Amino acid sequence: MDSKMDEYICIGLTGRMGSGKGEVVKILEKMGFKYISLSDIVREEIAKRIPGGRHVSRADTQDIGNRLRKEGGPGVLGKRVRQKIESLDIERWVIDGIRNPAEVMELQKLEGFYLLGLDASLSLLLERIKSRKRGTDVEDDDVLLEHLEREWGEGEPEGGQQVGKCMTMADYTIENNSSLDDLKIDVLKILAGLNIF
């Protein structure tokens, strides 16, 4: 591994949808971190496997991510992102979309990697998901709860989505039940503890 890698700071993000990962990305990007997501790999695969741009549901996205893990091993998305990071001369990264412990283990091969887990109350997660109105989100609470449970790991194979297990591997956790200002304060405290700024 390039000796320059020991200067890298890579903040990985895990947590359920609506937990605030996207907001943390925005905070870190403003501080000079380069964004990359394991979901980018899934989206690239969706473009190959579902030509013509038909509507892709969250379930489709979850299924294709699981298929990639089945074909390439549970850490394949983390491995591909790690290889991209190692090939570029950029020292600060924020890595989103980590949903399986094997992905964490792949990314832990990067020097300077720290995993930040985010969560919030279930009612707040539902409220945030419905308010952001992404194309893959739905309005129905029962369907959203199924997606949240699946993402956490319920009913998922070992190589599938296992956010709950990833959360137990986190170096730092934030219960994001308050304001964006409070979230930023929590993130800055973590960075200060790492002597990044």
The answer to whether residue 40 sits within a structural domain is: yes
**Average pLDDT for residues 170-195, to the nearest whole number?**
96
Residue-wise pLDDT for 79-124, tens only, equals: 999 999 999 999 999 999 999 999 999 999 998 999 999 999 999 9
Residue 148: CATH number of its domain:
3.40.50.300
Q: What number of other Cβ atoms are within 10 A of residue 113's Cβ?
A: 20
Is the Cβ–Cβ distance between 11 and 186 less than 8 Å?
A: no
Indicate if the pLDDT at residue 194 is higher than 80: yes
The answer to whether residue 196 sits within a structural domain is: no
The answer to whether residue 197 sits within a structural domain is: no
Residue-wise pLDDT for 13-58, tens only, equals: 999 999 999 999 999 999 999 999 998 888 888 888 776 656 777 7
Provide the token pair at 181. 């200002």
Number of domains in the chain: 1
pLDDT at 83: 95
The gap between the terminal CA atoms of the chain, to the nearest Å, is 26
Dihedral sign, CA of 18, 154, 77, 40?
Answer: negative
The answer to whether residue 195 sits within a structural domain is: no
Indicate if the pLDDT at residue 4 is higher than 90: no
Give me the domain span that covers residue 159. Answer: 3-188
pLDDT at 77: 94
The listed range with the strongest mean pLDDT (68-77, 115-124, 136-145) is: 115-124
The answer to whether residue 32 sits within a structural domain is: yes
Q: Which helix (H) or strand (E) holds 191?
A: helix 180-193
pLDDT at 52: 66
Indicate if the pLDDT at residue 184 is higher than 90: yes
Confidence label for 173 from pLDDT (cuts 50, 70 and 90): very high
The answer to whether residue 194 sits within a structural domain is: no
The mean predicted confidence, pLDDT, of the chain is: 88
Indicate if the pLDDT at residue 6 is higher than 70: no
- CA proximity to 170, closest of 108, 91, 78: 108
The answer to whether residue 161 sits within a structural domain is: yes
Indicate if the pLDDT at residue 163 is higher than 80: yes
The answer to whether residue 17 sits within a structural domain is: yes
